[in-house]
Amino acid sequence: MRVAGLGYPLARLDLSRLTRESLLGRGGMGAVHAVRDEQLHRQVAMKIMDRQYASDLPLVRRFLREIQITAQLEHPAIVPVYELGVGPDGLPCFTMQVVPGLTLSQKVKRLEETDQAGRLEMLDIMLRICDALAFAHARGVVHLDLKPQNVMVGDHGQVYVMDWGLARSCKTRARDAEPDVKPIVLDFSEEEAEVFGTPAYMPTELANGGEPDERTDVFGVGALIYHAFSGRPPFRGIDLDQTFAFARRCEYPPLDEVAPVGSVPPGLRRLVDKALSAEPEQRHQTMAELRTELQTLTRGSFGATRRRVKAGEEVVREGELGDEAYVIVAGALEARREEDGRPKALRTMGPGEVFGEMAILNATPRTATVVALEDSLLVCLSREEIEAELDGMTPWVARMLRTLAQRMQSVEDAG
């Protein structure tokens, strides 16, 4: 099969060694089948273009562009392509690695509201997505259609960025930073690559007909994080027109207002809001910059010790010296103080609330006892971790926090 613009005919693939087993799914222009390679004794995926599109030359070129881009992006988080050609029926097809597992969308749906560990795992998934996209940007390619359905999470933790059908090559900052990296080679012009995507996750510049660059993918990763923690896309209207209008105006509810209470790690909303900025100049300027900020946030979230407490268990005791502060992830606890030999309830605390911090900031004994009212999950922050965070702040901000803690302590003592 000869395609205009391609300097060579597509070879006819020898499919005699391949046994078709099942239909894995359908893409925009074809079906993906699971087939078994009888010579290598492995299962592979084969995508075959639908016959109704095979006579449409621009669509055939777009089909081949996706394969050429994917095949040249040799990265652990991008599915490898094995062969390209035409089948016995004359239809363009290619084979690639099978990816068993769940889409990111399916994985998010399985999270329980209180599954904080599962949500923190999402940050690790996002780091690997950033790695794949940073690699693509260094090759001069942007994805442009990042959404949970286009990310696969394998049965053993593998992460793959899928569906490069809307990808296009363009000048990127990452390419400028790594001039020795070989750019993608395409046999078809960019004029045939339409720029559109999925409205619920669409970067504002695409929704308004602007030109994309790697900051468009930064927006896409921000939208993935938003969905991972909230279970919904940033833009969701009552119909497609309203969803498009939200995307054009970049209007979305704040992440911590739509996510389960206490599930958004400190700093994540700020990161997401920056990545989802309407103006590309206000976003992270490269995928590497976004990855660095996300990794810092991830280390803080994963590095903190988690503690499960049973109903009735004391977490801190009035009068003792404190070495840890606590963030409630799930459950309910009560602060109590001894008055006239009897415990007096001060307040009930739930997910997202913090306690024990003043004893550390002020270097004073605990002013109350905290008891779990039900089985609860806490994040523990040591004195050393808190001091390290304060040391990393602008000095006047750290001083302001310490002064505020001292004043709150004075008010509490006076009461």
Active site residues: 145
Torsion angle, alpha carbons of 13, 17, 19, 23, to 10: -30
Show the 3-state SS of the chain.
CCCCCCCCCCCECCCCCEEEEEEEEECCCEEEEEEEECCCCEEEEEEEECHHHHCCHHHHHHHHHHHHHHHHCCCCCCCCEEEEEECCCCCEEEEEECCCEEEHHHHHHCCCCCCHHHHHHHHHHHHHHHHHHHHHHHCCEECCCCCHHHEEEECCCCEEECCCCCCEECCCHHHHHCCCCCCCCCCCCHHHCCCCCCHHHCCHHHHCCCCCCHHHHHHHHHHHHHHHHHCCCCCCCCCHHHHHHHHHHCCCCCHHHHCCCCCCCCCHHHHHHHHCCCCHHHCCCCHHHHHHHHHHHHHHHHHCEEEEECCCCEEECCCCECCEEEEEEECCEEEEEEECCEEEEEEEECCCCEECHHHHHCCCECCCEEEECCCEEEEEEEHHHHHHHHHHCCHHHHHHHHHHHHHHHHHHHHC
Whole-angstrom distance, CA of residue 360 vs CA of residue 322:
6
- Cα angle value 289/147/62 (rounded, 5°): 100
Q: Please state, in angstroms and as integers, the Cα–Cα distance from residue 203 to each residue in 12, 131, 207, 272, 344, following that order.
A: 40, 20, 6, 13, 53
